[in-house]
Structure 1
């Protein structure tokens, strides 16, 4: 029975890895569509969300069957339940990428971003490019230390998100009502990408160690002016 469980769990893990790769592709594509006003890439991201949804369904169905047939306990149960949660998290990240792509498609051939916000969103996208790459590494290698660092690093994205609000609320903001709505929504979508990445990292730490980590206040960066992600946008 243990051999059967291991083999079936390996298939689930493969589907989850593929799902993470598809999510990373979607986030990269959404960023390209937004920053470069590329409507073709935006449409590819929107269409590709169906594949992410299908993978989530596959992972959920396999996990439910494992729970029903194998009756896992202890560590095995922790892995199966956590895998269910990870699949849900990745699916939500895919949805967010689709939302970003939909805004890019709707505003084409113009950009949804204003000149004042473009640099901040470029930094947010760069951060997510690196974060999703690290998340795949953590998933494949069960690297707890890398997962914990990913959790800590989310403070950088939170700070960038606040910069968007500062720009929109400033006296110099000249965007239209629709631009204001789009920029605020996009900022929220990007911030949620980071939240879901943290959730996935915490879940992976839990799979490996049984410990559920949280962001510790003392681990936050001491100063934002030393980090390229946190420098103020150019005027």
Structure 2
């Protein structure tokens, strides 16, 4: 994991309103390069809206977003992606009718020439241990395998920052363990933000956790502190103990 301490992405008083409802409410957020941060919160807390604001999928009502010190507020998503931000949304966004390798190549050529893209695909396949799947159609794969292919497509672009929306959703226990190990290994070279609901998965990967509630940041601390916080348990977990 990187030991660099500069802030890679930050927001200042970030607000997004929909019909008078503030989906994000004056959010001040900062992430250091090399971190693996988990973002949690109940349904409707504003987590997905926050992700979409960071990646330019939606435009903030007010406030600022800085990436590597550059003001990216209001930039379209393709320009933010080219600066080095990759996102995997909750629903897999893959090409079912193409091979795994072809999916990865399409992503890799976004940032590389033909020869470089082929080399990058080989690196991603090796890193994700997808060799046995490389020449299978994505549409034939199990849910967890499709999730790994999409993570690989994000990796193939070599972004500085990766945002993952519920990467373990729908996975078996073994698949969740493998995905947690994958993210920790990936974090050695890439800054990562993960939105997640699975508490066991969060405890496997998280250091600092940011808790959203009603569009604002409720708590931000080490995972062990956050998961024992009575207010967090009340608004998110709905119980008195996390196991």
Q: TM-score, normalised by structure 1?
A: 0.28
Decide which structure has greater strand share.
Answer: 2
Higher helix share: 1
CA radius of gyration, larger in = 1
TM superposition score normalised by structure 2: 0.27
